[in-house]
Structure formats: C-alpha cells, structure tokens
C-alpha cells in the first residue's frame, strides 16, 4: 500500500524542503523537510511550540518562509497569500476556529467567492450548494442560520465544509479534533478518509495519538523546529511516538486519587436554566475531584458557567461552605472562592493582545492594587513562577497571540491558578496541549485537590475524567442522569448513560 522510498519531488505530492522561519530573531523552524503524497495522510505530531502550525501556515500561504522550497506535483510552489494557496489547491483547516458569527452558515462556507448571478449574489444557489455539502458531511442544519451561537463542533464542521467546496488537492488539518467529542471526531476522520479516496493528500495534526495512528499512512514528528522522526506507517507503538515527541518515556494511566474529606465545600441544589438544563443537584467535598461527563450539547459547560456566575440560573441554589452565594455575575462567585477556567480561551479566557504576564495577573490585579502589592517586580515574579509551574514555552512579555496553541492554554490555566480558590472549575483544561503538558496539568489538578480545593472537571476526553475524578456526574440532554463513584465509572457505563435515550 505505502511505498517505503519516502516522498520525492517526482510523483504527485506536496513536498517541503529546508523550510526556515524566524520571528523577531528567534528561529522557530530550523530546517523542515516533509512531503505528502496525493491520496495519503501524513500525521504530524510534536510538542507544543514544536512548529507544526507555523509549518502549516507557510504551506497555506499565510506566512512566508525565510528560506526553503516547496513543490506541488513537481512544480515550484510559493504562495504569497491564502488565496494563492487555494488557487494551487492547498487548503488549511485552522487550529482556532475563524467563522464569522454574524454571517449565515452558507455565507461562511462561500466567504470570498459567493456565487453570483450577474452582479448580485445568487442566494438560492449558495444555500443550495451549502445544503448539499453539509449533507455529504452528514450534518443536518439549515444553512441560512447565522453561525453565532453554534457549538464549536458545528463551527468546525462548517470550516471543513468550506474547505471541501474548494475541491482542494492538499488539505492540512491543524488539530481539528481538539474541541470535539469522540463521536464528532469520528465524523471528521471519516470526512478525511473521503477526501483521501478522492485523491487528496492530507496533513493531519493532532495531540491525540490514537487518532493519528488510526488515520495516518505516515507519521512525522517535529521537535524544536526540526523533523526528528518519520515512520512509513501509522502503525507505530504509542510509546515510540511519545518518546520522539518529548524525548523521554511517559507512563500513561492514572493512579487512584487520595480519598477526599467528608467536609462539603460546594453544594448545588436543584439548579436550573430554562431550556438549557434542570434538576442539577450535587455536592463537592474538600479535596474531591468531581468529573462531569457527557456528549457535546449535554449542558456540561452551561452548568458550570451558571455555578461560576457567568450565565444566570433561573432556579436553585449554590452554597460555598454553607453560605448561599448570589449568582449574578462572576465577581460574586470569585469573592466566594469559586474560580472557573473557561473552555474557550480566545473568547472568554485570554486577552490575546496583552502579554502573558499581564494576562496571568489580570484577575487579581484590581483586588491587590488596593493593597499596593502590584508592582512590575510582583507581576514578573508571578509570571515567572507560573512559567515554571506550567512549563510555558515562549516569551512572557510578548502578546499571547504569538504563543503556540498549547502554550496559550497553559497561560490560561496559570491565570486562574495564581491564587488558591475554594472551588476550582476546569472546563476542557487540556485542550490542545501535548502529552507532556497534559501530565503536568493532571499533576497540578491533583495537587490542588490534595491541598483541599473542591474541583469540578469537565472534559470531552473521558479517559481524563475517569482517571482523575473521585466521582463522575453524567449529563445527557440538560439533565443529570447519575453520579457514579469512581469504581463504577467505566467508559462503558458512562457512555451508555450519556447517550440520549430517544426511545419513549
């Protein structure tokens, strides 16, 4: 099936040779060499900051290399812009979603090349074509709807639809699954195999090594701006991939957490929000990690947002250490000791134009300024401590937007964990981070629990919930289905409870 002679410039392939790129004097790509043949999938892996997204954006014409050569099917290729890349048949599905919220689904799909009838946009044709491609992708939604308010998973599918309508010959997927559940990921993987069967060459970037192994015909590993290993098959032991990524062995699997104290810290009683969730009723004890599992759309994020005062609940009560808290805004929750690390680092979590240090101290700055503690030295010390604790790679005094995706996630965590909360809510804390950083984040979560913090963990990675939590609350369709003790919470029991029961 797969030839073992590697990719050469001769066949039908996209080939990248000796790519070099630096930002402000820092070389982030030293010499990248890789190729993808038409009709095959190359899995691209590597630590946060290894240079995967930078390589992708050069191939897709978003950035220009300092030097290096690219060819498509043997012909020189040097795109000056994304439009240029598309004209040569190269499309990129971004790590960060870039849909335009106030435009409709159809408009987003055909952005920049709306079908025209004379001088006017042919809306009917556009909607029809959008409907057609969405159907092919197995998505049942009205393309005239605005994108605003759609789930991240749905927006991801729209990005894929957008790419597919351009009939690309080479497609790069930069962590399409970071915010998707297993089911949704399966759909994306299916869509990729359809593209491959149509003869497209695909570069698939992901931190989920399972997926990479399943879908890839070849795997390429980057580290510190170089390609450090290439395998001519997807069938590589996971350990070997991890070792190539981080340069050492990792032990997977979780040991059972230390037992929590019986002392209840957080009590959520009959919490509801009309049309979104109701009947949410649970407690979290001192030192306990409560996992919340469920499919996307089950209402997990909505519940924790209400507890943190971000969204208003319609009914029910939340108490911290026996004291009822007013849930009008996040300030009330913060004062009561509830801290939430939100799911969406771009929209809710980070100010991308500010530097990392300022982002990290921002929630505490106002409180502490009153006491006169905020000085440049204080900010730098806190930021430096966070860098060590969270293993943040990159410059802390540059805008966060310049950090790699996984490192942005670490800054987001650091920001909320500068001070010790009573209740810590984590919504998808390891989205887009590499295995090494994942392990450190797990250790940090356990450590907070061991110090008596009541932790709520929402994650689409079931393994993460099962590995860390003392108890697992399962949600489905906005309802609390069960709260399982650790030894009863297996992936089978949780999944069977999480799938909506459609039979009356």
Q: Shortest Cβ distance from residue 174 to ligand ATP (Å)?
A: 7
SS (H, E, C) 180-228: CCHHHHHHHHHHHHHHHHCCCEEEEECCCHHHHHHHCCEEEEEECCEEE
Q: List binders of ligand ATP among 336-395 (CB under 6 A).
A: 393-394
Q: Please, what sign has the CA dihedral across residues 233, 239, 240, 246? A: positive
The entry of ligand ATP, Mg ion, none near residue 176 (CB within 5 to 8 angstroms by kind) is none
Nearest distance from residue 223's CB to ligand ATP, in Å? 9
Binding residues for Mg ion, rule CB under 5 A, total 3
Which lies closer to ligand ATP via its Cβ, residue 396 or residue 466? 396
Tell me whether residue 207 or residue 387 sits nearer to Mg ion (CB atom).
207
Which residue, judged by CB position, is nearest to Mg ion in the bound state? 53
Residues forming beta bridges with residue 120, ordered by sequence position: 117
Could you say which residues in the range 44-63 bind ligand ATP, by CB under 6 A? Answer: 46, 48-54
Nearer to Mg ion, 32 or 424 (CB): 32
Taking CB under 5 A as the binding criterion, the range among 87-95, 176-184, 233-241, 275-283 that sits at the site for Mg ion is 87-95
Among 89-97, 157-165, 262-270, 486-494, the segment contacting Mg ion (CB under 5 A) = 89-97
Task: Give the SS3 label for residue 162.
Answer: helix
Which parts of 3-62 interact with Mg ion (CB under 5 A)?
53
Write the binding mask 397 to 426 for Mg ion: x where contact by CB under 5 A, - elsewhere: --------x---------------------
Report the residue from 406, 421, 429, 436 that binds ligand ATP according to the rule CB under 6 A: 406
- Segment near ligand ATP (CB under 6 A), from 42-50, 262-270, 351-359, 462-470? 42-50
Shortest separation between residue 188's beta carbon and ligand ATP, angstroms:
17
Is residue 404 part of the contact set for ligand ATP (CB under 6 A)?
A: yes
Per residue, what are the HEC states of 60-75? CCCCCCCEEEEEECCE
Residue 177 in the binding site for ligand ATP (CB under 6 A): no
Give the separation between CA 56 and CA 197, rounded to whole angstroms. Answer: 22
Q: Which range touches ligand ATP (CB under 6 A), out of 155-163, 311-319, 399-407, 470-478?
A: 399-407
DSSP string, 440-462: HHHHHHHHHHHTT-EEEEE-S-H
Residue 402: CB minimum distance to ligand ATP, A: 4
Q: Which is nearer to ligand ATP, 49 or 467 (CB)?
A: 49
> Pick from 241, 284, 403, 481: which binds ligand ATP (CB under 6 A)?
403
Helix (H) or strand (E) holding 477, with range, is none
Query: Both tokens of residue 302?
Result: 């909505």
Nearest distance from residue 503's CB to ligand ATP, in Å? 42
Bridge partners (DSSP) listed for residue 479: 278, 476
Asked if residue 363 lies in contact with residue 418, where contact means CB atoms within 8 angstroms, the answer is yes
Pairing of strands 423-427, 454-458: parallel
DSSP 311: S
Which of 481, 484, 485 has its CA nearest to residue 500?
481
DSSP state, residue 399: B
* CB environment 316-343: b (16+ within 10 A), e (fewer): bebbbbeeebebeebeebbebbbbbbbb
Which string of b and e fits 105-122 if b means at least 16 CB within 10 Å?
bbbbbbeeeebeeeeeee
244 sits near ligand ATP (criterion: CB under 6 A): no
Residue 89's binding partner out of ligand ATP, Mg ion, none, with CB under 5 to 8 Å set by partner kind: none
Q: Give the nearest distance from C-beta 26 to ligand ATP in angstroms.
A: 7
> Using CA atoms, how far apart are residues 307 and 474, in angstroms rounded to an integer?
17
CA–CA separation, 483 and 461 (whole Å): 18
The nearest distance, CB 174 to Mg ion, in angstroms, is: 6
Binding to ligand ATP (CB under 6 A) within 80-139 occurs at 95
Query: Helix or strand or coil: residue 117?
Result: strand
Please list the helix, strand and coil fractions of the chain in percent, rounded to the nearest 5, in that order. Answer: 35, 25, 40
Closer Cβ to ligand ATP, 267 or 344, answer by number: 344
Among 65, 405, 421, 436, binds ligand ATP (CB under 6 A): 405
**Burial (Cβ within 10 Å: 0-12, 13-18, ≥19) of residue 178:** buried
Choose among Mg ion, ligand ATP, none what residue 168 binds, the Cβ cut-off being 5 to 8 Å by kind.
none
Distance in Å, CB of 52 to Mg ion, minimum: 5
Q: Using CB atoms, what's the residue nearest to ligand ATP?
A: 406
- Pick 244 or 466: Cβ nearer ligand ATP: 244
Query: For ligand ATP, which stretch binds (CB under 6 A), given 146-154, 339-347, 397-405, 422-430?
Result: 397-405
Residues making contact with ligand ATP (CB under 6 A): 23, 28, 46, 48-54, 95, 393-394, 402-407, 434
> Footprint of Mg ion on this chain (CB under 5 A)?
53, 95, 405
């Amino acid at each position: 099936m797969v030839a073992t002679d590697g990719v050469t410039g001769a066949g039908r392939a996209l080939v990248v040779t000796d790519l070099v790129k630096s930002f402000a004097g820092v070389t982030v790509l030293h010499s990248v060499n890789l190729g993808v043949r038409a009709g095959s999938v190359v899995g691209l892996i590597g630590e946060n900051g290894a240079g995967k997204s930078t390589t992708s954006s050069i191939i897709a014409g978003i950035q220009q290399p300092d030097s290096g050569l690219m060819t498509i099917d043997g012909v020189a290729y040097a795109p000056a812009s994304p439009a240029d890349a598309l004209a040569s048949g190269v499309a990129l599905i971004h790590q960060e979603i870039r849909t335009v919220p106030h435009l409709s689904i159809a408009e987003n799909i055909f952005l920049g090349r709306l079908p025209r009838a004379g001088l006017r946009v042919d809306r009917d044709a556009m909607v029809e074509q959008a409907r057609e491609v969405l159907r092919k992708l197995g998505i049942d939604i009205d393309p005239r709807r605005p994108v605003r308010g759609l789930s991240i998973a749905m927006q991801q599918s729209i990005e894929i639809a957008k790419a597919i309508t351009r009939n690309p010959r080479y497609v790069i997927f930069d962590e399409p699954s970071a915010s998707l559940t297993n089911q949704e990921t399966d759909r994306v993987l299916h869509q990729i195999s359809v593209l491959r069967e149509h003869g497209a060459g695909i570069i698939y970037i992901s931190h989920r090594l399972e997926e990479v192994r399943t879908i890839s015909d070849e795997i390429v590993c980057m580290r510190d701006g170089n390609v450090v290993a290439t395998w001519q098959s997807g069938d590589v032991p996971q350990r070997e991939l991890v070792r190539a990524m981080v340069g050492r062995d990792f032990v997977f699997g979780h040991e059972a957490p230390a037992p929590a104290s019986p002392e209840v810290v957080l009590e959520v009683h009959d919490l509801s929000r009309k049309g979104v969730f109701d009947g949410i009723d649970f407690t979290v004890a001192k030192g306990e990690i409560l996992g919340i599992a469920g499919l996307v759309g089950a209402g997990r994020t909505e519940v924790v947002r209400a507890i943190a005062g971000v969204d208003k609940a319609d009914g029910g009560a939340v108490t911290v250490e026996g004291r009822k808290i007013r849930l009008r805004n996040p300030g009330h929750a913060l004062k009561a000791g509830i801290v939430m690390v939100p799911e969406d680092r771009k929209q809710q979590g980070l100010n991308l134009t500010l530097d990392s240090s300022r982002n990290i101290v921002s929630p505490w700055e106002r409180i502490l300024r009153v006491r006169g503690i905020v000085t440049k030295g204080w900010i730098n010390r806190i930021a430096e401590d966070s860098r060590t604790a969270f293993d943040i790679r990159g410059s802390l005094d540059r805008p966060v937007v310049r950090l790699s995706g996984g490192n942005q996630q670490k800054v987001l965590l650091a920001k909320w964990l500068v001070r010790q909360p009573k209740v810590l809510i984590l919504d998808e804390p390891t989205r887009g981070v590499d295995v090494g950083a994942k392990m450190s984040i797990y250790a940090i979560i356990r450590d907070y629990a061991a110090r008596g913090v009541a932790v709520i963990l929402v994650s689409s990675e079931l393994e993460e919930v099962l590995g860390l939590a003392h108890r697992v609350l399962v949600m489905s369709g906005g309802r609390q289905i069960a709260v399982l003790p650790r030894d009863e919470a297996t992936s089978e029991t949780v999944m069977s409870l999480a799938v909506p029961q459609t039979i009356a």
